[in-house]
Amino acid sequence: MVEINLLPAQYRKRSDPGLWRYGTLALPLVTLLGVGLFTVIQATRLNNINKDIDAANGQITALEPAKKEYDDLNRQKTDLQKVTEVSSTLQSSKTYWSSDLARFVNALPSGGGVALTNMTVRAVDSNAQTNLSQQGLYNGKAVTKEFDLTGQAASSQSLVNFLNSFENNPSFGVNFKSAQRANAPVGASAAEIASQPYTFTATVGLVGQATPASVTTGTPATGTGTAPGGSDVR
């Protein structure tokens, strides 16, 4: 069947396809081209990134020996620092027991009358120093060595002279503990009773630089001796 439009030309409806139809047809094509272009761009970027990763991995592999050497040197540095710290601590706490003993002997009174039967020497760390100061011992002097003494004195005056020789010495302090006169024989005269010796115990402190609490500088040493000029009254 053939349709004939009898309307005048100016009233006839145009049935030719418009631009929107061409646009509708072109849109999928443009979309496909955009997606393809985006895919190509992303693939190129991914490929470049993979190349960069490969290059970085190659550099890491090449630097692994240097990094291993660096780590080894760091470990050696840490070990050496620990050894140096220990050495510095030991050096700061270094003590000469013979010199300290010589100082003690030189401080003994020359008048005689006292004999030491036992002596123990020990170091005093900073914590013990604080405790001694809080107890009011050694008249507040900061002692770093203690000499625990046991001995005999021929008379009370000899004992007083012995203690005063250290008490009045700025390098020492005294912690007197006890003294007891020996028992005289039954029926002894007053002169014999007066001549009986005193057995005493005391601690003499040596003033000096404090020893760190975490370091042991020596083990207590024991010994016996007689004060210069003193008589053996055992």
No. of H helices and E strands in the chain? 5, 5
| Amino acid at the residue 61 | T
Model confidence pTM above 0.85:
no
Q: Which helix (H) or strand (E) holds 57?
A: helix 19-92
Average pLDDT on 91-105 reads 78
Q: Where are the domains of the chain?
A: 17-92, 97-226
Is pLDDT of 183 > 60? yes
The closest of 107, 102, 99 to 174, measured between CA atoms, is 107
Is pLDDT of 59 > 50? yes
Q: Are strands 172-181 and 198-207 parallel, antiparallel or unpaired?
A: antiparallel
CATH 3.30.2270.10 is the classification of domain 97-226 = no
pLDDT in tens, 149-158: 999 998 888 9
To 5 degrees, how large is the angle CA 85–CA 88–CA 91? 150
Is pLDDT of 231 > 90? no
**pLDDT value of residue 221:** 36
